[in-house]
Amino acid sequence: MYIEIKKINNHYDIIFSGWGASTCILLKQMNKNNLLENKSVLIVEPEYKFENDKTFCFWAEESDQIYIDYNSIISNKWEEIQINDFKKQSISPLKYFHISSSDLYKSTRDIIKKNNIIVLNEKVKKVNVENNILKVNVNNQNISCDWLFNCIPFFKNKNDEFNISQSFIGFKVRLKENSFSSKVYRMMDFRVSQNNATQFIYILPYNDNEALVELTRFGKLKIDENESEIELNQFINTHFGDFELIEKERGVIPMDSSIVQQNKIKNWVNIGTSGGSVKPSTGYAFKNMYDHAVKICKNGRLNNFRFKRKSRFLFYDQLLLIILTLWPNRGKPIFEKLFQTRSSYFVLNFLDEKTTFKDEIRMFLNLPIGIFLKAVFVWIYSRFKHFLFPFFMILYVLIFQDNQSIYNSVLLNDFEVFILGFGLLTIGIPHGALDHLTETILPSNTISIKFIFIYLILMVPIFLLWLWYPLLGLIFFLIYSCWHFGQTDFKNWKIENNLLSFLWALSLLFYMFLTHYNEFNDILKLLNISSIPIIKYPNIIALILVLPFLFYSVYLRKWNWLFCIIFVLLSALVNLTMAFGLYFIFHHSRMGWLNLKQKLKISHFKMFWKALPFNVGALLLFWIFFVEMNNSISENIAYFFMFLSCISFPHIICMTMFYNKKFK
């Protein structure tokens, strides 16, 4: 069964990366469907899988196929459930079953022997796909396969902010005096401290004096081993008397409602936790893994089936996770009320996602509904917050469309000055004041004299270019701005295409220039650059430049991009300074800020704090230039343009290096 890496073949029909519970379940299903016959199969797993490290429980009727298939290794079953010291309830016709992980691994070992499956005691490093061939990399050796079933978490789930974990410490105990009811499984007993989370005891009695007693915590922070052992000792002593500790069990299950990112590569199927089988609100996965295995082996052949959750139940799970994350102390009253108002049988069916919508509404009405409504509000906000800024930008241009000033003024009214000034102070300048944190110009993330010196030196050639050849200065400024705008957007929208990102930014800038033809020429005049020749139908040309991106954004389902394009299209309704200012501050600067935040993993407050020295410096420069020097308005606009161009150059260098380093 085990083989050394030297003797491994170059190709197998099927490879399992990881010998997890999901692998065991799938192998059993394949064996049942004769799908392993005459197949070369390899399992790559660094552990030996003898340990009894987990207990797998699930509920089903005895007529269900899952029970029939696993009956031979089910070691215990319970017919009643108890919550706290409430009255125990029958769950008939369901029963709650228990399988020891060691029995599950052992039964798989029998299948492995029977089918001459090879086990390689190594770690999978990565999986490559070359010319549509799957290649599993072990110890820098590539092993190709026709099918890959993977239970290793290669893919990180989408980073959902409302993810917590279910962590637990369990004692297998023997009581001095019999006092467990061997037919009653205690699902949740909240008579323990909550510690700013949702904590309960779970008891699986094996007989009248032996049981697994587990302290479980739903929370952001994982359970503390020492504290929970004290809690467990106290709970068992208080409710069941003296006991002897036989074994300990510990574990962590992710409670993450973000949809698992499935790869789209043919014949590569993620299974188990990686395949999205864990129900986020409970941590149960066994039945989902079984259902997944049945679908993979449907019709007596292997199918590329990817596990999908029902969206209604996914939404309920997300609401519960929002509550457990934001208001962790509300978990206890919610669960207690649930079991007081609904039968345990109903609750198990609900967890199995088999209830009707009408029943679910009735159930929610019996629960503390206010907290669920708050959670719905948070859910809506978290789903749509990315569209808030684009939405307000679109609203602004629709409400304040300015037909009079259009095409003939680069000047702003007081309200416009307020909007742009406020935006520049809160987002525009701060987003460029964090370049030291990128650690690109210098390896330290503090502002030093050396850093400022290099920064200023980088600005000098741009300044000289503007002085000597303003047209070249402008062209150069446009090129590196397009590079930077496009790169920032595409990193945020997770699209990898440098040429396209550049073309996108170029098109949007040209759209703005062409739809504000006269204003653009006014600015050129202020910069001492000859105006661009009059062209026919500038608006139509502008539209032709942007429309392909609109269709492409819909094709890619990048709704953030689509919203931004809608803003750009509508920006023709306001003057050029406003159109570009809104885009630059409330779109580009915000995106750059969010990209930095995501990779540096620091709070908004800390970012503002770190940006403060540069912000103050920039404001001082502004003051000297625009107030103290008493220039005319048109001179100020020209200076501002040049200043922006000079200061952007080192910023763009820093951000490009940062993106290349951190967004690979």
Ligand X SMILES: Cc1cc2nc3c(=O)[nH]c(=O)nc-3n(C[C@H](O)[C@H](O)[C@H](O)COP(=O)(O)OP(=O)(O)OC[C@H]3O[C@@H](n4cnc5c(N)ncnc54)[C@H](O)[C@@H]3O)c2cc1C
- Report how far residue 595's alpha carbon sits from residue 655's, in angstroms, rounded to the nearest whole number: 10
Q: Does 510 bind ligand X (CB under 6 A)?
A: no
List, as own/partner pairs, every contact residues 600-605 make where C-beta atoms lie below 8 angstroms and the sequence separation is at least 24, other chains included.
600/437
Environment class of residue 87 by beta-carbon count within 10 Å: exposed (0-12), middle (13-18) or buried (19+)? Answer: exposed
Among 17, 281, 344, 575, binds ligand X (CB under 6 A): 17
Q: Which of residues 213-272 bind ligand X (CB under 6 A)?
A: 249, 251, 253, 272
Max distance between CA atoms of the chain, in angstroms, equals: 98
Residues touching ligand X, count (CB under 6 A): 30
Min separation Cβ 98 and ligand X, Å: 8
Among 21, 429, 465, 523, binds ligand X (CB under 6 A): 21
Binding pattern to ligand X, positions 267-306, x when CB under 6 A? -----xx----x----xxxx--------------------
Applying CB under 6 A, the span of 16-24, 65-73, 217-225, 312-320 interacting with ligand X comes to 16-24
3-state SS class at 158: coil
Min separation Cβ 190 and ligand X, Å: 19
Binding pattern to ligand X, positions 109-138, x when CB under 6 A? --------------xx--------------
Q: Does 185 bind ligand X (CB under 6 A)?
A: no
Min separation Cβ 604 and ligand X, Å: 35
- Report how far residue 224's alpha carbon sits from residue 169's, in angstroms, rounded to the nearest whole number: 9
Among 152, 201, 314, 410, binds ligand X (CB under 6 A): 152
279 or 431: whose CB is closer to ligand X? 279
Among 54, 77, 386, 599, binds ligand X (CB under 6 A): 54
C-alpha distances in Å from residue 352, one per residue of 50, 278, 291, 340, 344? 30, 12, 12, 19, 12
* Distant-in-sequence, close-in-space partners of 220: CB < 8 Å, separation ≥ 6: 164, 165, 197, 325, 328
Give the bridge partners for 143, in sequence order.
Answer: 136
Binding pattern to ligand X, positions 67-106, x when CB under 6 A? ----------------------------------------
Binding pattern to ligand X, positions 392-431, x when CB under 6 A? ----------------------------------------
- Report how far residue 256's alpha carbon sits from residue 155's, in angstroms, rounded to the nearest whole number: 14
Applying CB under 6 A, the span of 19-27, 87-95, 435-443, 575-583 interacting with ligand X comes to 19-27
Q: Does 548 bind ligand X (CB under 6 A)?
A: no
SS3 string, 192-221, reads CCCCCCEEEEEEEECCCCEEEEEEEEEECC
3-state SS class at 49: coil
Dihedral angle at the C-alpha atoms of 339, 343, 344, 347, nearest 10 degrees?
A: -80
- Report how far residue 158's alpha carbon sits from residue 273's, in angstroms, rounded to the nearest whole number: 14
Residue 134 per-residue DSSP state: E
3 or 373: whose CB is closer to ligand X? 3
Binding pattern to ligand X, positions 553-592, x when CB under 6 A? ----------------------------------------
Among 14, 36, 44, 474, binds ligand X (CB under 6 A): 44
- Report how far residue 621's alpha carbon sits from residue 635's, in angstroms, rounded to the nearest whole number: 15
58 or 389: whose CB is closer to ligand X? 58
Give the bridge partners for 185, in sequence order.
Answer: 81
132: which 2 tokens?
Answer: 């549509």
- Interface residues toward ligand X, by CB under 6 A: 17-23, 44-47, 54-58, 123-124, 151-152, 249, 251, 253, 272-273, 278, 283-286
